[in-house]
């Protein structure tokens, strides 16, 4: 996992976002066992307490579940994983549109730009 972090949000949230994206891309699948807290901490270059916070957040979001004595796993709730995909898509679109509007682009200009990018001649 890429170990570069920015200062715009807490590191644990950046790791949560990276894991969420791995789930969306299918790199982590329903039922996959996640690394132990210690292994993930080493891989991410962070304190184990940070990883524990990541796993707690993933559980709160319904993305992961901890099985006592077995570890932490990606949820097998396919409906929740589909909802995660939709939520992330909406968040990305909202952020993009907000940024474009802040730069002064109209809705029509944004749509034109999207069409040009998605469907080049």
DSSP state of 62: T
Domain range list for the chain: 11-76, 79-118
pLDDT tens-digit map of 3-47: 789 999 999 999 999 999 999 999 999 999 999 999 999 999 999
Terminal Cα-to-Cα distance of the chain (whole angstroms): 37
How many whole angstroms separate alpha carbon 41 and alpha carbon 28? 18
pLDDT tens-digit map of 63-101: 999 999 999 999 999 999 999 999 999 999 999 999 999
> The domain 11-76: what is its CATH number?
1.10.10.10
pLDDT at residue 121, rounded to an integer: 80
């Amino acid at each position: 996992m890429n170990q570069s972090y920015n200062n715009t949000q807490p590191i644990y949230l950046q790791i949560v976002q990276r894991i969420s994206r791995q789930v969306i891309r299918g790199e982590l699948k329903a039922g996959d066992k996640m690394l132990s807290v210690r292994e993930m901490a080493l891989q991410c270059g962070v304190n184990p307490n940070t990883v524990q916070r990541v796993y707690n957040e993933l559980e709160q979001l319904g993305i992961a579940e901890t099985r006592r004595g077995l570890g932490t796993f990606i949820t097998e709730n396919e409906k929740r994983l589909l909802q995660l995909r939709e939520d992330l898509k909406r968040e990305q679109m909202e952020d993009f549109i907000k940024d474009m509007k802040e730069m002064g682009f109209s809705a029509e200009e944004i749509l034109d730009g999207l069409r040009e990018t998605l469907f080049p001649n």
